[in-house]
Amino acid sequence: AQSVTQPDIHITVSEGASLELRCNYSYGATPYLFWYVQSPGQGLQLLLKYFSGDTLVQGIKGFEAEFKRSQSSFNLRKPSVHWSDAAEYFCAVVGTSGSRLTFGEGTQLTVNP
Amino acid sequence: NAGVMQNPRHLVRRRGQEARLRCSPMKGHSHVYWYRQLPEEGLKFMVYLQKENIIDESGMPKERFSAEFPKEGPSILRIQQVVRGDSAAYFCASSGRLEADTQYFGPGTRLTVL
pLDDT digits (tens, 9 = 90+) for B19-77: 999 999 998 888 999 999 998 778 999 999 999 999 999 999 999 999 999 999 999 99
Residues of A in contact with B59 (CB under 8 A): 100
pLDDT of B96 > 90? The answer is no
pLDDT digits (tens, 9 = 90+) for A38-85: 998 888 999 999 988 888 999 999 999 999 999 999 999 999 999 999
By C-alpha distance, the chain B residue nearest A88 is: B42
Residues of B in contact with A103 (CB under 8 A): 35, 42-44
By C-alpha distance, the chain A residue nearest B45 is: A100
pLDDT of B4 > 90? The answer is yes
More confident residue, B112 or B97: B112
Residues of A in contact with B5 (CB under 8 A): none
State which amino acid sits at residue A73: S
pLDDT of A106 > 60? The answer is yes
Q: Is B5 exposed, middle or buried (0-12, 13-18, 19+ CB in 10 A)?
A: middle
The pLDDT assigned to A96 comes to 59
The pLDDT assigned to A16 comes to 97
Confidence of residue B2 (pLDDT cuts 50, 70, 90): confident
DSSP E strand stretches across chain A: 3-5, 10-14, 19-21, 24-26, 32-38, 44-50, 56-58, 64-68, 73-78, 87-94, 102-103, 107-112
Query: How far, in Å, CA of A60 to CA of A44, rounded?
Result: 13
**Mean pLDDT value of segment A24-50:** 90
Task: Identify the sign of the CA torsion B68, B77, B2, A52.
Answer: negative
Query: How far, in Å, CA of A93 to CA of A91, rounded?
Result: 7
The pLDDT assigned to B40 comes to 77
Q: With CA atoms as reference, report the closest residue to B85 among B111, B58, B57.
A: B111
Query: How far, in Å, CA of A4 to CA of A24, rounded?
Result: 6
By C-alpha distance, the chain B residue nearest A92 is: B43
More confident residue, B13 or B42: B13
Confidence of residue A29 (pLDDT cuts 50, 70, 90): confident
Substitution target from A99, A103, A105 for chain B, most B beta carbons within 10 A: A99
Closest Cα in chain B, distance from residue A3 (Å): 12
